[in-house]
Structure 1
Amino acid sequence: MRILITGANGMLGRTLQKKLADHTLIPTDLPDGDITDEISFDALVAREKPETVIHCAAMTAVDDCESKQDLAYKLNAFGSANVATACARHGARLIAISTDYVFDGASSRPYHEFDAANGGATIYGRSKFAGEEAVRRLCLNHVICRISWLYGPGGPSFVHTMLKLADGSRPALKVVDDQRGNPTSTLAVADALRGILARPLLTGTFHLTCEGEASWYEFACEIFRQCGIDQKVLPCTTSEFPRPAPRPANSRLEKKMLRLCNLPPMPDWRDALREFLAGER
């Protein structure tokens, strides 16, 4: 299969290049794969003739999105509309990567794919939700895949940050314990996308986070436990670390669509972390 990847130099894009190496890949990123230039991106798709486009390119720096709102919407909303339009025009299937931030995080249970999203309280979430809506409107042959709490080879990620901070110079690390989500490896996401690629008639929205849940504090403790690092970790509240963009208290995603479509379940987050760390050593 000919697969064009936008944002191919990002963490997920790099993993996809390795995991999908048995396909014919067209990795694109800036400056050549500029999704905000509708003419040049359309020409790129017309020239390369991909059967599928995996759209990873996005502005994912959540706090920067608050101060650079036009850029966030240009990349996450307008850029996604350009990708969707090009795919529809040239007959390519579109697999677009989205985020848990499209939900407001106020639910007491995990969000599934049939729950109403509204973009939440952040510019990042709102711009990504606008991108989702553009994909749905402009390209019927699409799959939207929501992921969260992502880490993978090369980083940057929470896992890499924790391991860097545990250098012996800090007697204790304070980590937020009142936000819950599904720590998710890019390796697990790539495996799930392979299953979706093999089902060319599937459309709709899928959640591709690992099974099980944790707080950031619990995630940090498990990282150090699996690595055999003796690092003291103290739980703290979100209010102790104020950020420009509010973080959702609940980022947990239920994988209802994987079950309904008889696709393999996502791995438990602890097992996925173990696989990732084994590859890093």
Structure 2
Amino acid sequence: MEKILLTGGNGFFCTRFAQRYQNTYEILSANTSMLDVTNEAQVNETIKNFNPDYVIHAAAKASTDFCNENPELAYKINVTGAINVAKACKEVHSKMIFISSEQVFNGNTNGGPYTEDVTPCPDTVYGQNKLEAEGLLKEILPELWVLRFTWLFGIPERNCGMSANILWGTLTDILKGKKSLVTPNEYRGLTYVHEVINQFPKIFQIPYGTYHVGSHNDLSRYDICTLIIKEVGLEHRLNELLGKDLEKYKNHTRDIRLCTDKIKSFGLEFSESADGVKKCIKEFKLKL
């Protein structure tokens, strides 16, 4: 049985991955209390002792505000931590999957969808961290996949971590009786987390390199929230539950969508974002 070590093991992606593949791989899901990626000695010891075939490095400080306000700590976690993991992988000949982000394009102004050949221009500390780490890891470890994820979404599940996402955020506002104010001036890929997880073993078979991962989306953030409200059966309350934030990105539409044709050419398929939303709502029986 092949062995996989997950960093950031208590997070949104890794908890679901570990649950899905617990009988397929021998998995060490290393949460922050078990593995501090900024501690080089601890990283070396953990990876050496487990000797994994693959390391999926998902540990990161992803909050844009936190990273902007704490750039030194963000760098230590997001860049130095990734370097520590890559060096340890090299020592034991483990293959590494680095989870990066669409946020490397959040300073680009041409508009997406962006291919892997487009030069990223991040304008936040988090995006800059991810892009710098991508480059440094490639210098350390040739056996590396860099996966730039679109924004993953899902709902709370038993024994799984959660993170802010468009579906659960909209549903939470509904449950609180709060009206969501959402910009119609933002476009980004939105991907059902289980679509990524269910196909993940295919990634181990494709050439090393950088890949954009997730769903294509032609709808604005406001349009997606409208869809969510309709799909859960509350279309009659749409005006009560949803309003437009016309100030946000009014001077320049934010478009950080990714072109995922490259990874699709290797057999991975993703629903359109709207269809992924519908699939999740149907699978979890969220219609009210």
Fold shared, TM-score > 0.5 on shorter chain: yes
**Residue 225 (structure 1) aligns with:** 230
Q: Is 1:144 aligned to 2:152, yes or no?
A: no
- Unpaired runs of 5+ residues, structure 2, are 157-161
5+ residue gaps, structure 1, are 242-246
Task: State the aligned residue count.
Answer: 271
1:176 to 169, 174, 183: 183
Say yes or no: does 1:255 pair with 2:260. yes
**Residue 224 of structure 1: CA displacement?**
1.1
**Counterpart-to-counterpart distance in 2, 1:167 and 1:75:** 35
Structure 2 equivalent of residue 23 of structure 1: 25
Structure 1 window deviating more from structure 2 (205-214 vs 153-162): it is 153-162
Question: Per the alignment, in what secondary structure is the counterpart of residue 231 of structure 1?
Answer: helix
Alpha-carbon distance, 1:275 to partner: 2.7
Deviation of 1:235 (Å)? 2.2
Give TM-score, length-normalised by structure 2. Answer: 0.88
Contact in 1 for aligned 2:55/2:89 (Cα 8 Å)? yes
The Cα RMSD (Å) is 2.0
Per the TM alignment, residue 270 of structure 1 is displaced from its structure 2 partner at its CA by 2.1
In structure 1, how many angstroms separate the alpha carbons of the residues matched to 2:148 and 2:190?
13
Aligned to 2:159: none
Contact 1:101 1:248 in 2 (8 A): no
Structure 2 Cα separation of the partners of residues 210 and 72 of structure 1: 28
Q: Distance in 1 between matches of 2:77 and 2:247?
A: 28
CA distance in 1, matches of 2:61, 2:25: 27
- Does the 8 Å contact 2:187/2:255 carry over to 1? yes
**How big is each residue's C-alpha offset from its partner over 1:160-198, in whole Å with a ceiling of 9 and x where there is no partner?**
12111113734x43201111011112112213322112x
1:15 CA displacement: 1.5
| Deviates further, 68-77 or 159-168 | 159-168
CA contact (8 A) 1:6 1:56 kept: yes
Q: Secondary structure at the match of 1:34?
A: coil
- Asked if the contact 2:186–2:249 (Cα under 8 Å) also holds between the matched residues in 1, the reply is no
Partner Cα distance (2:108, 2:231) in 1: 29
Using the TM superposition, give the Cα deviation of residue 110 of structure 1 relative to its aligned residue in structure 2, in angstroms.
0.8
Segment of structure 1 superposing worse, 29-38 or 228-237: 228-237
Q: Tell whether the 8 Å contact from 1:105 to 1:248 is kept in structure 2 after alignment.
A: no
| Contact 1:54/1:96 (8 A) holds in 2 | yes
What are the residue-to-residue correspondences of 1:79-118 with 2, within 5 Å? 79-103=81-105, 104-118=107-121
1:151–1:184 contact (8 Å) kept in structure 2: yes
| TM-superposition CA deviations, 1:144-169 (whole Å, max 9, x none) | 11112221242332221211111373
Q: Distance in 2 between matches of 1:111 and 1:274?
A: 25
Change beyond 3 A, Cα 1:248–1:189: farther
Query: Shift of the alpha carbon at 1:60?
Result: 0.8
Identity, in percent, stands at 22
Equivalent-residue separation in structure 2 for 1:48 and 1:36 (angstroms): 18
Give the TM-score normalised by the residue count of structure 1.
0.90
Query: In the aligned structure 1, how far is the partner of 2:37 from the partner of 2:281?
Result: 33
Match status 1:237 vs 2:241: no
After the TM superposition, which segments of 4 or more aligned residues of structure 1 sit over 4 Å from their partners? none
CA contact (8 A) 1:179 1:238 kept: no
